[in-house]
């Protein structure tokens, strides 16, 4: 085939491409007012122009750098396939609240502004073998059926049944046909100490008593549990300790630090973490101490003077937690509280939801290898979310992304365990 010259091509084009320029004039006449308006905005209203430019740039940045799908580790085989099939949230994009993508804004906003759902409880007093007492708060709702599975909720450090995030978890359980119950640790939930002992990340005795009590009230009823932060550490410890004999059928933990030493370093060496999170938690711990000082001082290893001057979490653990649970120091206590080496002992479905920007749990210490080596454990890791913040929507006062995760997991476990 012979080549066609450029001149021949141009000669065969429609004539209006070469001679008729009226269409160009028409386009110019239509666009000129638009260009004139933009010029007026740029030179006469620079504030509007700058605002629009910044907003557009922020939207592009949010789309490109913030919106991500969660990363899934572990759970090879049947459990992983089941959850990815029945929990579409794990394969969808997570859209954090656009003005609260920062780890601290997400964490603080959820804690300070999340709405508190109305909830009625029936309180059960549980007496423990050492004479101590704690409170179990059972949700009261007409939707609960006699055969509803149990949803056991373990709050974080100093948490109780009245906090907004706990109330939302109770609501999650009710919406999925469960019977929610909140495990208030000793000295919390308005319940005074009876013995000179609070709770620790390494001790599961109280949780074991709670599970036994639930089984006696509802024999044969499956128990699914969720633990947040410290509650998640205790729950994970229980599951690893009991293995295939666990009386908790499945679990989900949220924002659970796996390595206490790295959490301590992150919280106590970074200025913002220390001035905000540590000071807030220490203030709440001091309230518990003051309310129960006459009981705690009965322990022979507790220094009453130091107890009243606690200024950090590690000092609290040195003065109260370590001596009351048989440790020589907080260092020995933290070493024993590590969860990384215990994940392989979990023999029931276990989901851990974490954010890579959690100020309580540095990313470099996430045990992804250990999760991948156990078919019963799954780690869902988001890029943003803070410490059980996980906000979504422009006005995040209601349920959060972690609540949607919880709801889908509860549904999936019903099918998985044929409840």
- For 315-325, what is each residue's pLDDT tens digit? 999 999 999 99
Which pLDDT does position 6 carry in this prediction?
A: 54
Q: 5 pLDDT exceeds 70?
A: no
* SS3 assignment, position 227: strand
Q: Which pLDDT band, with edges at 50, 70 and 90, does 293 fall under?
A: very high
Cβ neighbours, 10 Å, residue 59: 11
Task: List, for residues 71-109, the tens digit of each pLDDT value.
Answer: 999 988 899 999 999 999 999 999 999 999 999 999 999
* Pairing between β-strand 71-74 and β-strand 133-139 as defined by DSSP bridges: unpaired
User: In the predicted model, what is the mean pLDDT of residues 11-22?
Assistant: 53
Instruction: Catalogue the active-site residues.
Output: 229, 358, 387
Average pLDDT over residues 17-26: 61
Residue 413 has pLDDT above 60, yes or no: yes
**190 three-state secondary structure:** coil
Q: Give yes or no for residue 16 having a pLDDT over 50.
A: no
pLDDT the model gives residue 419: 79
- Residue 45 is predicted with a pLDDT of 72
Q: How confident is the model at residue 304 (pLDDT cuts 50, 70, 90)?
A: confident
Q: Percent of the chain, pLDDT > 90?
A: 82
pLDDT the model gives residue 14: 52
Picking from 113, 117, 124, the residue whose alpha carbon sits closest to that of residue 210 is 124
In this prediction, residue 18 has a pLDDT band, given cuts at 50, 70 and 90, of very low
Distance in angstroms (rounded) separating the CA atoms of residues 386 and 122: 32
Placement of tokens 């999340």 in the chain: 114
Q: pLDDT digits over 212-232, tens only?
A: 999 999 999 999 999 999 999
When computed from its CA atoms, the radius of gyration of the chain, rounded to whole angstroms, is: 28
Separation of alpha carbons 238 and 247, rounded Å: 10
Smallest CA-to-CA distance from 105 within 382, 385, 392, 402 is with: 385
CB-based contact 273:253 (threshold 8 Å): no
Structure tokens given for 74: 């572990």
- pTM of the predicted model as reported, rounded to 2 decimal places: 0.89
pLDDT band at 37 (very low <50, low <70, confident <90, very high): confident
pLDDT at 67: 97
Instruction: Give Cα 87 distance to the centre of its chain.
Output: 17
More confident position, 10 or 288:
288
* Residue 235: partners with Cβ closer than 8 Å, 6 or more residues away: 154, 207, 225, 226, 227, 248, 251, 253
Query: Is pLDDT at 10 greater than 50 in this prediction?
Result: no
| pLDDT computed for residue 50 by the predictor | 80
């Amino acid at each position: 085939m012979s080549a066609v010259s450029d001149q021949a091509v141009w000669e065969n084009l429609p004539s209006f491409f070469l001679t008729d320029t009226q269409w160009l004039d028409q386009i110019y006449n239509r666009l000129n007012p638009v260009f004139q308006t933009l010029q007026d905005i740029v030179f006469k209203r620079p504030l509007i122009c700058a605002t629009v430019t910044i907003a557009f740039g922020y939207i592009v940045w949010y789309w490109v750098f913030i919106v991500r799908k969660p990363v899934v580790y572990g759970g090879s085989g049947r459990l992983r396939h089941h959850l990815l099939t029945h929990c579409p949230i794990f394969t969808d994009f997570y859209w954090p609240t656009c003005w609260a993508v920062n780890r601290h804004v997400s964490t603080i906003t959820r804690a300070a502004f999340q709405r508190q759902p109305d909830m009625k409880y029936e309180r059960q007093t549980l007496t423990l073998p050492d004479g101590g007492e704690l409170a179990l708060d059972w949700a009261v709702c007409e939707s609960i059926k006699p055969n509803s599975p149990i949803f056991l909720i373990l709050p974080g450090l100093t948490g109780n049944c009245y906090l907004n995030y706990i109330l939302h978890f109770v609501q999650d359980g009710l919406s999925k046909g469960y019977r929610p119950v909140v495990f208030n640790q000793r000295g919390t939930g308005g319940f005074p100490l009876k013995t000179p002992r609070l709770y620790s990340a390494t001790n599961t005795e109280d949780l074991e008593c709670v599970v036994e009590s639930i089984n006696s009230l509802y024999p044969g009823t499956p128990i699914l549990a969720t633990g947040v932060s410290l509650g998640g550490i205790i729950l994970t410890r229980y599951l690893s300790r009991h293995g295939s004999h666990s009386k908790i059928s499945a679990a989900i933990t949220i924002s659970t630090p796996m390595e206490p030493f790295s959490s301590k370093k992150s919280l106590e060496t970074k200025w913002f973490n220390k001035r905000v999170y540590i000071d807030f938690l220490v203030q709440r711990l001091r309230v518990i101490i003051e309310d129960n000082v006459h009981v705690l001082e009965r322990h022979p290893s507790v220094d009453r003077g130091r107890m009243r001057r606690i200024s950090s979490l590690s000092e609290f653990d040195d003065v109260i937690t370590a001596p009351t649970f048989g440790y020589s120091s907080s260092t020995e206590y933290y070493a024993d509280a590590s969860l990384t080496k215990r994940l392989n002992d979990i023999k029931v479905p276990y989901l851990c939801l974490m954010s890579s920007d959690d100020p309580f749990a540095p990313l470099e210490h996430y045990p992804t290898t250990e999760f991948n080596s156990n078919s019963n454990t799954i780690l869902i890791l988001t890029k943003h979310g803070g410490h059980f913040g996980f906000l979504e929507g422009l006005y995040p006062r209601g349920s959060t992304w972690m609540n949607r995760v919880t709801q889908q997991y509860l549904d999936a476990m019903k099918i998985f365990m044929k409840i």
